[in-house]
Chains A and B, each alone.
Chain A
Amino acid sequence: MTKIKQPEMCPRCESLKPETLCHSPVKNAWIIYHCPVCFFTWRNTEPDFITDPAQYNPHFKFKPESIDTFDIMPAIPELKR
């Protein structure tokens, strides 16, 4: 198997420097990556519409700053101490 190229950005939020989470137990079969910004996780052997930022479904893409607008569930209650 040819050497697997480290991805430059998260396919979903396009943050730079994704991290490697895990190598396959069988040597050189696959690698699982992880975006520390939006927590997107993917395996390099998945279809290109999952692994390639240019082909990732636009309805599911978002910018890192959008996370601040996500709803909170459940609400954090007031401290009663």
Chain B
Amino acid sequence: MPFYDLKSFITELEKQGQLLTITEQVMPEPDISAAACAINKLGDKSPALLFENIYGYHHAKIAMNIHGSWPNLAIAMGIAKNTPLKQQFFEFVKRYQNYPGEVEYRNQAPWQEVIIDKDINLFEILPLFRLNHGDGGFYIDKASIVSRDITASEPAKTQNVGMYRIEVKGKDSLGIQPVPAHDIALHLQRAEEQGLDLPIALTISNDPMISTVAAMPILYDQSEYAMAAALNGEPYPVVTTELTGLDVPWGSQYVLEGYVVSRYREAEGPFGEFTGHYSGGRRMPVIKVTKVSHRKNPIYEHLYLGMPWTEIDYLMGINTCAPIYVQLKQSFPEVEAVNALYTHGLIVIVSTKSRFAGFGKAVGNRVFTIPHGLGYAKIVIVVDETVDPFNLPQVMWAISTKFNPEFDLITLPGLSILPLDPASHPPGITTKMLIDATTPYPSEQHGHFSQELKDPITTDKWVEKLSNMLNAKQ
């Protein structure tokens, strides 16, 4: 059964032992971000955190680390919380391929309970706080943000839901980072070419699936709501807003509406990013907020990101692997699995069968030119189909034994990368690298691979037998 709002998901997390409620009084800074940073240091099965007593607020509740572990992601998918990672990946891929699911339009939503459209002060409406010490301000970094190409013949068909960092820069003023490779940057470019403001809606504290999809690199003409429906296996409910006419999740806690000011840029940042580095300061677009709607007694959901791994690495993990896998497989059915878990796919590991000499290099080069690869894939590692790309010791074995830099290393200069990559030079440009760690295929002659070791023939039976004996002893 899918979750249609944050509160029902939090209830389920608690039921399954994946929620810690913090009832002691905490300071907005540094306690909340420190606790959210700390919970990720306790392993990859960490619970979500719910803060209920925040100094200076009467009733604020802040949820952190909602997506911050493999069990939390499994529960969001409605599968057993201890489902192994590779199995979660294949379940995600299976549902992804049911796209498009049905989008259900509803007339009313709980977030319409309270409406503020004059004297807006976001610092009074939201319990905002600083995440990392060097951040230039208080950020909203887990909003699912809705926009359209308003110059298109059918703008509704271009509607996008994406997760972009937002600096709260004034009482009704926000800074936004539309990275050029992302869909919203295209919407903004088209509007600015005509000198038009771009209507926008920020939805905050959502059901877990739309956050997963908003942070997922799906294709420009795919609908995030139809993708959420496919992943949930049930119709996804949305409501059309009165002010901007954008479709937003029925289950949101807060909806902020307004417009991106056309042809205007203003100082923004720095912000501690998913790269484990601050972004530096840039001049970026500004949003004016003209209407805020929210539920009574809302929960504010936020996300800590810092030195990996943190919640964002889980949130952008499996959902980054799946589209790369499906897009690669369209060109090369031999591809077995894709691991793009690290730093949103700045490194991509692909396992594939080979059909002829040079095949691993062909598959690896394709990764650079799929849409997400253009802005992210900097290092691609290709391994045999017998190597599990999610098992890093196996990947290290493949590189350390199959790979010979003289034959198997390709570097490609002058390619695009997201400007947030701190190693890019100038920002947005990098050399990329392909490591082909597949076994050379005839007629490649280098190396001696005819005597690769295999497990003794009854090993699988013994794994099962010994496992059962160990379980019986517990």
Contacts and interface: CB of A to CB of B under 8 A. Distances in A.
Interface in B124-151: 124, 128-130, 133-134, 136-138
Q: Which secondary structure dominates where chain B touches chain A? A: loop
Interface string B165-197: 001111100010111100001001100111100
B270 interface: yes
Given A24-B56, A34-B170, A43-B29, A73 B136 contact: no
B366 interface: no
A22 B123 contact: yes
Nearest to A73: B282
Interface string B230-269: 0000000000000000000000000000000001011110
B167 A39 contact: yes
Contact of B30 (A26, A39, A47, A60): A47
B169 A39 contact: yes
Nearest to B268: A39
Given A32-B123, A74-B180, A79 B195 contact: yes
A80 B194 CA distance: 6
A4 interface: no
Contacts of B123: 21-22, 32
B121 interface: yes
Interface residues of A, number: 38
Given A24-B56, A32-B123, A77 B266 contact: no
Contacts of A40: 136-137
Interface in B258-304: 263, 265-268, 270, 278, 281-285
B168 A41 contact: yes
Given A34-B170, A41-B168, A41-B169, A26 B267 contact: no
Nearest to A42: B130
A52 to B, nearest CB: 13
Interface string A35-63: 00011111101110110000001011010
A43 B135 CA distance: 13
- Tell which of B121, B283, B284, B285 has the most Cβ of chain A within 10 Å: B283
B193 A45 contact: no
A81 interface: yes
Nearest to B279: A73
B283 A45 contact: no
Given A29-B56, A80-B194, A67 B130 contact: no
13 contacts: A21-B123, A22-B123, A25-B56, A32-B138, A39-B167, A50-B130, A70-B282, A71-B282, A71-B427, A73-B179, A73-B283, A78-B193, A79-B193
Q: Which 4 A-B pairs have the closest CB atoms?
A: A29-B56, A24-B56, A22-B123, A41-B137
Given A12-B136, A38-B267, 18 more contacts: A21-B170, A21-B171, A24-B56, A39-B175, A40-B136, A43-B129, A45-B27, A46-B29, A47-B30, A67-B281, A70-B281, A70-B282, A72-B265, A72-B284, A73-B284, A74-B179, A79-B194, A81-B193
